[in-house]
Amino acid sequence: MKKTAITFAAALLPALAAGADIPRTWTREAVAAFEVPLAKPIYSPVHISEEAYYRIPVRSIHKTYPVYHPKHEPAGYMEWLKQQEPQPAFEPGRLKTEADWIQAGEMVFNSPVSFGPVFFGGAEVRNPAFYEETGMPVAKDGTIPFARWVIRRKGEPELGSMGCNTCHTRVMPDGTVVPGAQGNNPGDRQGAWMLRRAAKMAPAEEMLKRVRLFAKQFEVPGLGDDPNRRAQNMALDEFIAAGEAIPAGVTARSHTSMVLPPQIPDIIGVRERRFLDHTGLVRHESIGDLMRYSTLVQDLIGLARYGDSVPAEAPRAGSRYSDEQLYALASYIYSLRPPSNPNPFDAIAARGKSVFEREGCGKCHTAPLYTNNKLIPADGFEPPVAHRTRFDISSLRVGTDPRYALQTRKGTGYYKVPSLKGVWYRGPLEHHGSAATLEDWFDPRRVKDGYVPTGYAGPDGRARSVRGHEFGLKLSARDRLALLAFLRTL
């Protein structure tokens, strides 16, 4: 209730000041209200102030160029890139219509925030073995849509990545590219590939020190038995194995966890979602909230204080998106549409629809959004009374693996009900991406001991039952087939 009033005021004031409709991203009021507290509220992140935020220099966005698989790179391409002058590519003064803003936002979406190797660098994308060994997908036109070449200084093309496109772009089996869909670049596998190489060249002790420092960012202040701390005792080989265990579509993003990595959500249709992240950490009531979310996950890594403990990793806020860039980006994300669905609503799907209704799926996955936009308490979490009036909380539970909701920096104690729109083109499913396909998600064996998940299994890839959400697990083969046919039409 209160949040609505604050957001309204926060949205109005800067609009008057700037003479435009662009919300000021990082205001004290908006930042105080935009997140759901963590399960242990005293350890909820305390963010940097409005003043400190606006002191961070704005990222300059340069014109970028496609990256090709080496087999498809036009002759002389790298030489040609070296001739190109650096060019500013984001000029808000020129943006007049909504279509202009959306187009500029597409550029922001694909603009890198890192120029050094992260999942890969310039050498890797020009090495055919890298594709074969990591399974990096290539689009029909021979490009890889997860990164771009950038000219910041003439004569020095740099491979830039870690823009939204690196994780939120999907190359479909036929090679078409779907921006915003659950990404399928195998980033953590690539990280493991690079680590394995580096380990052969640098002293092992030195490497170990570096990866342990990297892993520290996932530790959760105030958590007695923190599974993320386990990384501090891992050998280099175990780090490599933990990365290799993470399939495409799942990734150990900042503020998530290397041992409990989350599924990358499909962000097509995000406009209709009231909470962002699997745990519903960020409330989404206005475009300003999506702008705050975007700068939070890209620019403010390591800058929040959790309780009275200061995060160990080095702050990375070298630059931030401007309010205009964020507004363009969010407008673009709101404009994204799913690919056209090849699955017909035929007689089998129609039967599946009645199975869906009979099984009560719609209580949570309510049409037309196929989510009721509610938070579901994870096992082991009892919502405080005050939450009942502040957030939309379901009285039902699903009993899925509660660790991500309780033992990570995204841990609100809840999982939100995901929308089922677009399940036909995404996967792996569930908050860890434990189930590779819809068939696996509705396979009754998945809840049994000794089951080896077909999607993300765990850092050591061992057997682990994929518990909870037992809806639809007892269907006849015929009903299950029909249900899946229906789900694939959404």
Question: How is residue 440 written in tokens?
Answer: 């696996």
Residue 353 within binding range of ligand HEC, rule CB under 6 A: no
Nearest partner of 404 among 392, 417, 414, 389, judged by Cα: 414
Residue 253 within binding range of ligand HEC, rule CB under 6 A: yes
Task: Name the segment binding ligand HEC (CB under 6 A); options: 29-37, 132-140, 303-311, 412-420.
Answer: 412-420
Binds ligand HEC by CB under 6 A, chosen from 260, 376, 482, 490: 376
Task: Name the segment binding ligand HEC (CB under 6 A); options: 219-227, 311-319, 430-438, 458-466.
Answer: 430-438
Cβ–Cβ < 8 Å for 174, 140? yes
Residue 301 within binding range of ligand HEC, rule CB under 6 A: no
Residue 429 within binding range of ligand HEC, rule CB under 6 A: yes
3-state secondary structure of 341: coil
Contacts of 296 (CB under 8 A, 6+ apart): 47, 282
Residue 90 within binding range of ligand HEC, rule CB under 6 A: no
Cα(221)–Cα(43) distance, integer angstroms: 7
DSSP state letters, 45-65: EEPPPHHHHHHSPBPP-B-EE
Residue 293 within binding range of ligand HEC, rule CB under 6 A: yes
Cβ–Cβ < 8 Å for 31, 304? no
Backbone angles phi, psi at 288, to 5 degrees: -60, -35
Q: Indicate the residue among 240 and 423 with the shorter CB distance to ligand HEC.
A: 423
Which residues on neighbouring strands pair with residue 376, listed in sequence order? 415
- Give the total residue count for the chain: 490
Q: Indicate the residue among 45 and 206 with the shorter CB distance to ligand HEC.
A: 45
Cα(391)–Cα(285) distance, integer angstroms: 12
Residue 418 within binding range of ligand HEC, rule CB under 6 A: yes
Residue 265 within binding range of ligand HEC, rule CB under 6 A: yes
Binds ligand HEC by CB under 6 A, chosen from 9, 310, 396, 463: 396
Q: Indicate the residue among 27 and 166 with the shorter CB distance to ligand HEC.
A: 166
Which residues inside 166-185 make contact with ligand HEC, applying CB under 6 A? Answer: 166-168
Task: Name the segment binding ligand HEC (CB under 6 A); options: 45-53, 92-100, 161-169, 453-461.
Answer: 161-169
| DSSP code for 320 | B
Minimum CB distance to ligand HEC, residue 25 (Å): 12
Residue 110 within binding range of ligand HEC, rule CB under 6 A: no
Question: Which amino acid does the sequence have at 36?
Answer: V
Residue 298 within binding range of ligand HEC, rule CB under 6 A: yes
Residue 360 within binding range of ligand HEC, rule CB under 6 A: yes
Minimum CB distance to ligand HEC, residue 422 (Å): 8
Nearest partner of 483 among 429, 441, 425, 434, judged by Cα: 441
Q: Indicate the residue among 66 and 472 with the shorter CB distance to ligand HEC.
A: 472
Residue 276 within binding range of ligand HEC, rule CB under 6 A: yes
Binds ligand HEC by CB under 6 A, chosen from 231, 303, 471, 485: 471
Residue 104 within binding range of ligand HEC, rule CB under 6 A: no
Q: Give the number of other Cβ atoms within 10 Å of residue 167's Cβ.
A: 22
Task: List, in sequence order, the alpha helices (H) in 174-322.
Answer: 187-201, 204-216, 236-244, 287-299
Residue 365 within binding range of ligand HEC, rule CB under 6 A: yes
Cα(144)–Cα(147) distance, integer angstroms: 7
Task: Name the segment binding ligand HEC (CB under 6 A); options: 30-38, 71-79, 194-202, 268-276.
Answer: 268-276
Cα(340)–Cα(489) distance, integer angstroms: 10
Q: Give the number of other Cβ atoms within 10 Å of residue 222's Cβ.
A: 14
Residue 482 within binding range of ligand HEC, rule CB under 6 A: no
Minimum CB distance to ligand HEC, residue 141 (Å): 22
Task: Name the segment binding ligand HEC (CB under 6 A); options: 18-26, 89-97, 396-404, 459-467.
Answer: 396-404
Task: Name the segment binding ligand HEC (CB under 6 A); options: 3-11, 91-99, 225-233, 261-269.
Answer: 261-269
Backbone angles phi, psi at 234, to 5 degrees: -85, 145
Contacts of 51 (CB under 8 A, 6+ apart): none
Question: How is residue 42 written in tokens?
Answer: 């005293």
CA 321: distance to chain centroid? 18
Which residues on neighbouring strands pair with residue 435, listed in sequence order? 429
Cα(41)–Cα(12) distance, integer angstroms: 30
Question: How is residue 62 written in tokens?
Answer: 């340069």
Minimum CB distance to ligand HEC, residue 82 (Å): 27
Distance (Å) of CA 173 to CA 106, 130, 465? 23, 19, 29
Minimum CB distance to ligand HEC, residue 249 (Å): 9
Q: Indicate the residue among 69 and 431 with the shorter CB distance to ligand HEC.
A: 431
Judged by CB under 6 A, how many residues of this single chain contact ligand HEC? 50
User: Which residues in this chain contact ligand HEC in the complex, by CB under 6 A?
Assistant: 162, 164, 166-168, 251, 253, 256, 262, 264-265, 267, 270, 273, 276-279, 293-294, 297-298, 329, 333, 356, 359-361, 363-365, 376, 396, 398, 400, 410, 415, 417-418, 420, 423, 429-431, 438, 441, 469, 471-472, 483
